[in-house]
Amino acid sequence: MLRLITTRVVLGILTLLAVSVLIFAATEILPGDVASAVLGQGATPETLAAFREELGLNRPAYVRYLEWFFGAIQGDFGVAMTNKRDIITSMTPRLENTFFLAGYAALIAVPLSVSLGIIAAINEGKAVDKVANVISLAAISVPEFFIAYLLIIIFAVNLDWFPSLSTVFADMTFAKKLHVTALPAFTLTLLVAAHMLRMTRSSVLSIMSQPYIEMAFLKGLSRTRVVFHHALPNAAAPIIAVIALNLAYLIVGVVVIEVVFVYPGVGQFMVDGVTKRDLPVVQACGLVFAAAFIILNTIADVLGVLVNPRLRKPR
């Protein structure tokens, strides 16, 4: 068991290392000159040369990558090109805001989607199952920005229940923060709940065709008892995996939602960095998103091994 967990963790670390190389390389090969983009058209050749010297842009790429990566794993992402502020200091409150929004949506989406998925599996082929399939498929098919703007029109413009802009402050009360971020949280809930609902339903139904499930029915057990006591424990591993993937999406995929609602999170911070061509900010945000995604997937792998005894046995 310890060997399996260690293997998953090592693979996660190697994946993060590979992703860090891709992030640095992708930002380095972008067309145009970073110094010219930051200083503007009025920059002289002397100021451009001095700026490149200050940022170390005249050094080999692999040297700059090693300095950036080893600094990042120690919590030092450097300073932003545009305002010379420490990136980790500027990112920390925004990261807290992103985690708050993701946690807000997850607390609604996870129990709701898993419960509806189990109900749909219990009532396979009935009206409840058909309605759940139609609604979840529609939610998956519609782009997130369209859902966001639709909710703004209905609940912010027409009904005036929630604000259209989700601007939060450090001294804002918890209840006020919940009210201000309700629309982006509900948008994210609609997106991830549909995936988790369909995956929960399909995972439970795939187990229902197993011989031991048929034996349980032959013993006279009800469908609800069979699902909860026999099918659901064996379908837990794929359900945990899809929950982890969607939790990762709540953190990584909030970029569009944060821009639509002008929410001060890491996604908005990254978009601002792209607009200003502030490569250290873009690299830091990309690495944080990648780390969150990899950590959650590694946790899902470990939990999948823990809940499924068959994965603990060597083949």
| Cα-based torsion angle of the residue sequence 12, 65, 89, 105 in order, rounded to the nearest 10 degrees | -30
**Section 15-27 average pLDDT:** 86
Cβ atoms within 10 A of the Cβ of 227, count?
Answer: 23
Q: Which residues pair with 86 in a beta bridge?
A: 79
Pick from 254, 290, 223: nearest CA to 19: 290
Q: How far apart are CA 43 and CA 72, in angstroms?
A: 30
Buried b (16+ CB within 10 A) or exposed e, 63-101: ebbeebbeebeeeebbbbbeeeeebbebbeebbebbebb
pLDDT at 279: 80
Instruction: Answer whether residue 315 shows pLDDT above 60.
Output: no
Instruction: Answer whether residue 314 shows pLDDT above 60.
Output: no
Coil, strand, or helix at residue 79?
A: strand
- The residue extents of the domains of the chain are 87-312
Q: Which of 9-18, 21-30, 222-231 has the lowest mean pLDDT?
A: 222-231
Share of the chain above pLDDT 90, in %: 0
Q: Which residues pair with 90 in a beta bridge?
A: none
Task: Grade residue 207 by pLDDT with cuts at 50, 70 and 90.
Answer: confident
Residues 152 and 164: beta-carbon distance below 8 Å: yes
Of residues 39 and 85, the one with the higher pLDDT is: 85
What letter would DSSP give residue 162? Answer: S
Q: What is the pLDDT of residues 216-271, one digit of tens each?
A: 777 777 777 777 777 777 777 777 777 877 887 787 777 888 888 888 888 888 88
Of residues 227 and 11, the one with the higher pLDDT is: 11
pLDDT at 75: 79
Instruction: Answer whether residue 11 shows pLDDT above 80.
Output: yes
Q: What is the pLDDT of residues 43-82, one digit of tens each?
A: 667 776 776 666 666 777 778 888 888 888 887 888 887 7
CATH T-level topology, domain 87-312 = MetI-like fold (1.10.3720)
pLDDT at 77: 81
pLDDT at 311: 59
